[in-house]
A and B are shown apart, each in its own frame.
Chain A
Amino acid sequence: MLYRSVTAVLAAAAAACAFTGVAAATDLEVTHWWTSGGEAAAVGEFAKAFDATGNRWVDGAIAGSGGTARPIMISRITGGDPMGATQFNHGRQAEELIQAGLMRDLTDIATKEKWTEIVRPKSLLDSCTVDGKIYCVPVNIHSWQWLWLSNDAFAKAGVPVPKTWDEYVAAAPALEKAGIVPLAVGGQPWQAAGAFDVLMAAVGGTDAFLKVYKDKDKDFAAGPEIAKVFKAADDARKMAKNTNVQDWNQATNMVITGKAGGQIMGDWAQGEFQVAGQVAGKDYTCLPGLGVNPVIATGGDAFYFPLLKDPEKAKAQEVLAETLLNPQTQVAFNLKKGSLPVRGDVDLNAANDCMKKGLDILAKGDVIPWTDQLLSQDSQKQKEDLFSEFFAKQDMSIEDAQKRFADIIASAD
């Protein structure tokens, strides 16, 4: 009886479903996290340009932010199911994938297309370079160094629109009296950390910024110069006390509606002003470098190409890499995205006042690398934890915060 039932149980079948996706040779899947209205329109320009070359752009948009999308992209690459191309922020996010030999070396194409000559500023290509080889195509420059001010709010408070950070801090009591939140900082951790880095570059200056984030000089980070930056950050958190919103675009919306005096946020905030039908200079004012130290940080987005076995697809990758840097594509994409193009030889007549300010600074070469390029994601996260706590806890002392900041810099890599 026993054995009979054993044989019965052993009658099992395994169905192996070998599924081979036979795609047309020139289909290329591109993953990215550009899903908001303006972003989707911008990425559509890339798709259009790539389709025009006779290949087909298969859109692999991943909803959520970079924080949600990156783990998915990375696990696909490490898990042996690589896409044709993928977005990352240029900097150190893909560093380990490159070291593990999973990404494609683009040096040949770069030499052929003379990327070193056309891509500006040079630091963009540097952050794509590992051991002398180029692994990514930078497509835009997004800079954090902007203070967006609501002209309405200042008119209501009866003070002139400030031209520098100090004037802004001085105007804060008047704004508060008029029932306006002086500075909008949303609750997401990266916003507080980003605002601090902007203050570091503006109040501390370019040298201090580089000394802390590039050289990771912990004594300097604990010193009196950085104490000044923390003093400014203390002002900022007092001004931001009553923000009570989470997302950055909600905070931007407070500026648009005149509920807040201003916001420190990257140039992507400009898209929100545009959608709301506001005009730069008339409805809102932008101060690059907080009006103190007009520099542009060269963060932004880049495309990386995983190493593929299929030669047809590899060829399509090359075509895509060229297309991304094509002058027409660059203009079409960046106008929709609100970012600055990575090549200086393109014509941006359609750019608005704020974008033109940015282009001027870029032309002068007043650029700094951004923390995404200088610090690992790990250090960035620790910094976010610190500053989200600092901005939320008004009673946390400046000295404590600076000491913890210096510790993070000391262990940063």
Chain B
Amino acid sequence: MVVRRVNARQHIDERSPMSESQTRPPSRLLRNLNAKIASIPMILTAVVVFAGGTAWTVLYSFTNSKLLPRLNFVGLDQYTRLWAAPRWLVSIENLLIYGVLSLIFSLVVGFVLAALLDQKIRFENTFRTIFLYPFALSFIVTGLVWQWLLNPEHGIQSVVRGLGWTSFSFDPLYNSEIVIYGILIAALWQGTGLVMCLMLAGLRGIDEDIWKAARVDGIPMWRTYLFIVIPMMRPVFVTTLVIIASGIVKVYDLVVAQTSGGPGIASEVPAKYVYDYMFFAQNLGQGFAASTMMLLSVVIVIVPWAYLEFGRRRRA
């Protein structure tokens, strides 16, 4: 939850520097007063609910709150325990594997699909619908569908075996070593369509003349994509990256639906740790500490990037 907020604000920040630079000093406060008054509820929500809630969570992560929040400070105890908990370490490792791979694959696959659709093919609408359709399903449904597909007794394995390959074995959800890849498959199936659509929109935004110029210069198509089109699509990539990244950090429902963290603790993720310790274990302090670590990891990734991105733009 915390993570989503950060990203939401990120979006707002992206726009604000430019509008500020257009405002002239004397009427600055009163300019666009209607808009400012209208946005008061949102500002209050952002400050009180988002920022306030975040500060509150961080504060209470230093206490030994159990079922009810209590201001009984214990220093870094919750964090020491968190980083000694095997389950948390497994969660972090899973998040890293899942995060890196899903980022790479959804960008690459999404872009390739978009580029293929961009070749002015027939039935583009049909294909677009097919690819985007999984995105209309919730993670819970996606998880259940893939739980069945990957179930060795009912799913892909039994179908292939039924075709004659009796030694075929494909049961990622029941193997601790590769279970996270089973989850990754479902996530990619669900999310790639959206990336494809964003990319396609970006590709459509590229001026036809650029393609013509490249063709006149005899540049092969793949080089045009790689060295001309992709750099021009930078804003689209940034948006996509933010959407994918926030999806990665908050992944929870997919795991619950597919494996509920199993086998054992092999497919646990940080968000699930937070939820389980806050509500099942009745240990708010531990849950808050874990969610603070999640926030921190997002901040560590976002802040340098935001600095580079927006710092440069302001100077330019």
Q: CB within 8 Å of B: which residues of A?
A: 2, 5-6, 9-10, 67, 70-71, 74, 78, 93, 95-97, 100, 187-189, 244, 246, 376-378, 380-382, 385-386, 388-393, 404, 411
What's the least CB distance linking B4 to chain A, in Å? 21
Q: Is the CB of A97 within 8 A of B281?
A: no
B67, B68, B153, B279, most chain A CB atoms within 10 A: B67
Contact with A along B174-187 (1 / 0, CB 8 A): 10100000000000
Answer yes or no: B211 CB below 8 A from chain A CBs.
no
Residue B266 CB within 8 A of the other chain: yes
Roughly how many angstroms separate A392 CA and B33 CA in the complex, as a whole number? 61
Q: Is B279 a contact partner of A71 (Cβ separation < 8 A)? A: yes
Q: What is the CA–CA distance of A376 and B38 in the complex, to the nearest angstrom?
A: 48
Q: Cα distance A377–B277 when bound, in Å?
A: 9
Contact A2 B262 (CB under 8 A): no
A389 to B85, CA, bound (A): 12
Name 17 interchain pairs, CB-CB below 8 A, sorted by A.
A2-B33, A6-B33, A9-B33, A67-B279, A78-B68, A188-B260, A246-B262, A377-B280, A377-B281, A377-B282, A378-B282, A378-B283, A381-B281, A389-B86, A389-B265, A393-B176, A404-B86
| A70 and B276 alpha carbons, distance in the complex (Å) | 12
Closest to B285 in A: A378
Q: Which residues of A contact B67 (CB under 8 A)?
A: 74, 95-97
Q: Is the CB of B280 within 8 A of A392?
A: no
**A124 to nearest B CB, angstroms?**
22
Return chain B residues, CB-CB under 8 Å to A70.
Answer: 279
Q: Is B163 an interface residue (CB 8 A)?
A: no
Q: Which residue of A lies closest to B171 (CB)?
A: A244
What distance in Å separates the Cβ of B285 from its nearest Cβ neighbour in chain A?
9
CB neighbours (8 Å) of A9 from chain B are 33-34, 37-38
Q: In the bound complex, what is the Cα–Cα distance between A388 and B87 (angstroms)?
A: 11
What is the distance, in angstroms, from B160's C-beta to the closest C-beta of chain A? 18
Q: How far is the CA of A70 from the CA of B263 in the complex (A)?
A: 25
Q: How far is the CA of A5 from the CA of B281 in the complex (A)?
A: 53
Bound form: Cα–Cα A389–B67 in Å: 26
**Residues of chain A with a CB closer than 8 A to B5's CB:** none
| Contact for A392 among B86, B176, B282, CB less than 8 A | B176
A6 to B35, CA, bound (A): 10
Chain A residues near B261 (CB-CB < 8 A): 189, 388
Q: Determine whether the beta carbon of B66 is less than 8 Å from that of A187.
A: no
Task: For the complex formed, measure the closest distance between the CB of A156 and the CB atoms of chain B, giving whole angstroms.
Answer: 20
Judged by a CB distance under 8 angstroms, whether B142 is at the interface is no
Q: Is the interface of B mostly helix, strand, loop or mixed?
A: loop
Residues of B within 8 A of A388 (CB): 261-262, 264-265
Nearest CB of A to B32, in Å: 10
Task: Contacts A5-B34, A9-B34 known; list 19 others, CB within 8 Å.
Answer: A2-B30, A6-B34, A6-B37, A97-B67, A244-B153, A377-B281, A377-B282, A377-B283, A378-B66, A381-B281, A385-B85, A385-B86, A388-B262, A388-B264, A388-B265, A390-B264, A392-B176, A393-B263, A393-B266
User: Count of B residues near A, CB < 8 Å?
Assistant: 31
Query: CB-CB < 8 A to B260: which residues of A?
Result: 187-188, 246
Residues of chain A lying within 8 A (CB to CB) of residue B68: 78, 96-97, 100
CB distance from A102 to the nearest CB of B (A): 9
Give the residue of B87, B153, B283 whose beta carbon is less than 8 angstroms from that of A385. B87
A391 touches B264 (CB 8 A): yes
Instruction: Collect the chain B residues with CB atoms within 8 Å of residue A378's CB.
Output: 66, 277, 281-283, 286
B contact residues around A244 at 8 Å (CB): 152-153, 174
**Contact bitstring B253-279, A, C-beta under 8 A = 1, else 0:** 000000011111110000000001101
Return the CB mask of B107-144 against A: 1 if under 8 Å, else 0: 00000000000000000000000000000000000000
**Residue numbers in A under 8 Å from B81 (CB-CB):** 411
A5 to B32 Cα, complex, angstroms: 10
Expressed in whole angstroms, the Cα–Cα distance for A96 and B85 within the complex equals 25
A-B CB proximity, top 5 nearest: A392-B264, A381-B281, A392-B263, A389-B264, A96-B67
Q: B27-43, CB under 8 A of A: which get 1 and which 0?
A: 00010011001100000
- Which B residues are CB-close (under 8 A) to A411? 81
A78 CA to B86 CA in the complex, in Å?
32
What 0/1 readout, one digit per residue, does chain B (85-97) give for beta carbons within 8 Å of chain A? Answer: 1110000000000
Q: How far is the CA of A246 from the CA of B261 in the complex (A)?
A: 11
Q: Which residue of B lies closest to A74 (CB)?
A: B67
How long is the Cα–Cα vector from A113 to B45 in the complex, in angstroms? Answer: 52
Contacts of B174 in A (CB 8 A): 244
Chain B residues, Cβ within 8 Å of A392: 176, 262-266
Interface centre among A96, A381, A390 (most CB of B within 10 A): A381
CB distance from B141 to the nearest CB of A (A): 18
Closest A residue, CB atoms, query B175: A392
A393 to B281, CA, bound (A): 23
Q: Which B residue's beta carbon lies closest to that of A390? A: B264
B195–chain A nearest beta-carbon distance, Å: 32
Kindly identify which residue among B34, B263, B282 contacts A187, using a CB–CB cutoff of 8 Å: B263
Contact code string B276-298 (vs A, CB < 8 Å = 1, else 0): 11011111001000000000000
A386 and B68 alpha carbons, distance in the complex (Å): 25
A residues less than 8 Å from B283 (CB atoms): 377-378, 381
CB closest chain-A residue, reference B179: A392
Query: Cα distance A143–B152 when bound, in Å?
Result: 34
Give A96's nearest chain B residue, CB to CB: B67
* Cα distance, A114 to B224, chains bound together (Å): 88
**Distance A378 CA – B286 CA, assembled complex (angstroms):** 9
* Distance in angstroms between the alpha carbons of A232 and B37 in the assembled complex: 69
In the complex, which residues of chain A have a beta carbon less than 8 angstroms from the beta carbon of B176? 392-393
Task: Provide the residues of chain B in CB contact with A391, threshold 8 Å.
Answer: 264
